[in-house]
């Protein structure tokens, strides 16, 4: 079969779950604006915002979005960091979804995670949420999770060179690319920049 006669590759359907307590107005929503732009180039994208989108302003529950999740080829979860954990609306969603663990709704589908925070604790939230998603049955692509921190953003504005090895919003395209590659089955992975020279350099400033 010639290249010209091959059927075009199907665009994967990716479902983005905004689990921020601030809903469509928070930092996660701002990150999702960037994420959706990158994903839409190669995928069909559906955004589900949990907080404030059900009747009477309550949060969407698993039953409300189960049918949409079932149509997905992959997922991206976004949440804030609330007392070293993800949001209460995401916790409710995960608890309600327990009976679907290991089902075809999740099994083998790639999942990315983006956590927003003010200062610290987000990496623990990211790692634990990835672990929960694997238990549900999802696959975690390489370099498909990161934390966007207000403190890092301040540091980057103060000293861009010193912040080169920190996660920032500029790393979101890598997360998006690797999620699409996993969902499409093409596996042409990309990596964000890594400090390979000064990672062991002493940096603490003490009197």
Cα-to-chain-centroid distance, residue 175: 7
CB atoms within 10 A of CB 131: 11
Q: Secondary structure of the chain in the HEC alphabet?
A: CCHHHCCCCCCCEEEEEECCCCHHHCHHHHHHHHHHHHHCCCCEEEEEECCCCCHHHCCCCHHHHHHHHHCCCEEEEEEECCCCCCCHHHHHHHHHCHHHCCCCCCCCCEEEEEEEECCCCHHHHHHHHHHHHHHHCCECCCCCEEEEEHHHHHHHHHCCCCCCCCCCHHHHHHHHHHHHHHHHCCCCCCCCCCCCCCCCCCCCCCC
- CA–CA separation, 205 vs 207, rounded Å? 7
- CA–CA separation, 28 vs 96, rounded Å? 22
Q: Quick one: tokens of 135?
A: 């238990």
Map tokens 């995960």 to a residue.
94
Average pLDDT, the chain: 89
Instruction: Write out pLDDT tens, residues 77-132.
Output: 999 999 889 999 999 999 999 999 999 999 999 999 999 988 778 899 999 999 99
pTM of the entire predicted model: 0.89
For the chain, list residues with pLDDT below 70: 1-9, 54-57, 161-163, 198-200, 203
Note the pLDDT of residue 155. 75
């Amino acid at each position: 079969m010639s290249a010209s006669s091959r059927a075009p590759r199907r665009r994967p359907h990716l479902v983005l779950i905004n689990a921020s307590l601030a809903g469509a107005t928070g930092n996660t929503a701002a990150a999702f604006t960037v994420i959706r732009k990158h994903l839409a180039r190669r995928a069909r994208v559906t955004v589900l915002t949990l907080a404030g989108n059900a009747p009477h302003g309550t949060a969407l529950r698993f039953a409300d979005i189960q049918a949409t999740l079932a149509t997905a080829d992959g997922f991206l979860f976004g949440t804030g960091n609330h007392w070293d954990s993800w949001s209460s609306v995401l916790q409710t969603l995960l608890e309600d979804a327990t009976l679907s663990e290991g089902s075809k709704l999740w099994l083998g589908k790639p999942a990315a995670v983006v956590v927003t925070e003010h200062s610290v604790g987000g990496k623990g939230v990211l790692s634990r949420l990835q672990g929960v998603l694997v238990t549900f049955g999802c696959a975690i692509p390489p370099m498909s999770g990161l934390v966007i921190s207000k403190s890092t953003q301040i540091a980057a504005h103060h000293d861009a060179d010193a912040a080169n090895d920190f996660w920032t919003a500029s790393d979101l395209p890598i997360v998006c690319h690797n999620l699409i590659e996993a969902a499409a089955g093409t596996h042409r992975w990309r990596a964000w920049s890594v400090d390979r020279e000064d990672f062991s350099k002493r940096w603490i400033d003490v009197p």
